[in-house]
Structure formats: structure tokens, C-alpha cells
Amino acid sequence: MLAISDKDREAVLEVLRNAQFVYGLSRYPKKQVLDDPADVKALRERLEAMRAAAKGLSAAQRAKLDVPWADLEAIDSGTEAVWKAAKRATPKIIAELTPLVRDEPEAAFLIAPIKRGRKSEIEPQEPKVKESPKEKAKPAAQSGLTGKEIAGLELVIQQRTAADETYFGWLRGNHGLPLTEWRRRRTQAERARRAERLYVEKLFKSRSMK
């Protein structure tokens, strides 16, 4: 992996932080998302943040990336453009930018789009068993997290990471901060960790009740 400048690295991370939320929400059906004004607003705001952060990349770095930047530039034209940027551009942006920051601790929390391909023709097929009407009517058990749950989890993780970084920055040597500011940062970090823990507990609880 080629080294990138500190400025480009920070820009990439900021793009990816917002792209995580966009990708999670875009996994929902188009009509379901676009019929909800709150979801559309959230998508637009995160895409705008991605666009702003991407402008912090150097021209040389942008030129190396096979990314449909034009889709991000077009989001002001309407709801359809917002969805196009979320559904088409965002997975490509994540795929192209993530390798640039693989060595960052935060990269461990980045969600990568799943590539869906055809099953191998030589893959052995399981024998088909005729199901009774009762079995057919039984809904399949849900596995994994939904798009909104992934987006919510990524958000609380990002907030906790940012709060920790702000707090630990003082511990690593910025001792010129007033004591009141240090206490404020410590409180923010504790709240962010608690919010992340409560969100994860909520996810576990919702799964155990299904």
C-alpha cells in the first residue's frame, strides 16, 4: 500500500466515517427510505459531509481513485440523486478508500460492502426437500443486523472513538489544557462509551426476544 499524506489520510477517514452511515441506510428498500423524510434528510446530510471531506483530498490522490465523484456533486439536484449517490457511489467510495487507511485502528470498525456473485457451477447442491404448506408459511429467522442497526452501531462507535481521541490526546502530552476542559473531555468520553454499551445491549436484547 502506497503511503499517503497526513492531510489525505484525515480526509479519507472523514469520508469513510460518514459513508458507513450512508451504506447502512442504503441497504433498505429504496421506497422505504425515500418515503421517510427523516431518512432522506439523514442521507443528504451524510453525503454532503462526504463531499466536503473529499474536497480535502489532494488532486493527485483523487486522480488515483476510481470513484464516481460526480454522483456526490449531484446530490443537490433532488431525492433521486441522493439515492443514486448512496446506492451506487458510496460502496465504490468505501471500496477504494478503505485500503488507504488499513493501518489505522479505526479501520477495524469500518464496514465493507459485500460483493454478491454467482454460485460456483461446480459447488455441490444440497438435495431439495419438499416442504409442507405449514413449513412454507413459516417466516425465515432473521440473522445479522439490519441496515439501520448497522448505521446506528457505526454512529455510536464513531462518537465513542472521537470522544476517546479527544480525551487521550490530553493524556499523551497536551497538558496545557485547563483542568475544567480535561474534566469535560473525560465526561464526554464516559458518556460516549456508555451510549455505545447501551446500544449494543439493546441490539442483543432485541435479538433474544425474536
What tens digit of pLDDT does each residue of 196-210 get? 778 777 766 775 665
Check residues 81 and 123 and name the one with the higher pLDDT. Answer: 81
Where along the chain do its domains lie? 1-113, 145-210
pLDDT of residue 170: 59
Q: pLDDT-derived band of residue 74, with 50, 70 and 90 as boundaries?
A: very high
- Residue 95 exposed, middle or buried by CB count within 10 Å (0-12, 13-18, 19+): middle
Supply the pLDDT for residue 166. 67
Q: Would you say 185 and 170 are in contact if contact means Cβ atoms under 8 Å apart?
A: yes
What are the CA-CA distances from residue 204 to residues 45, 74, 79, 160 (Å)? 29, 39, 34, 19
Q: Which residue has the cell 466515517?
A: 17
Of 58-67, 78-87, 167-176, where does the model show the most confidence? 78-87
> What cell was used for 25?
441506510
The pLDDT value recorded for residue 49 is: 93
Looking at every residue in the chain, the average pLDDT score rounds to 76
Round the CA-based radius of gyration of the chain to a whole number and report it. Answer: 21
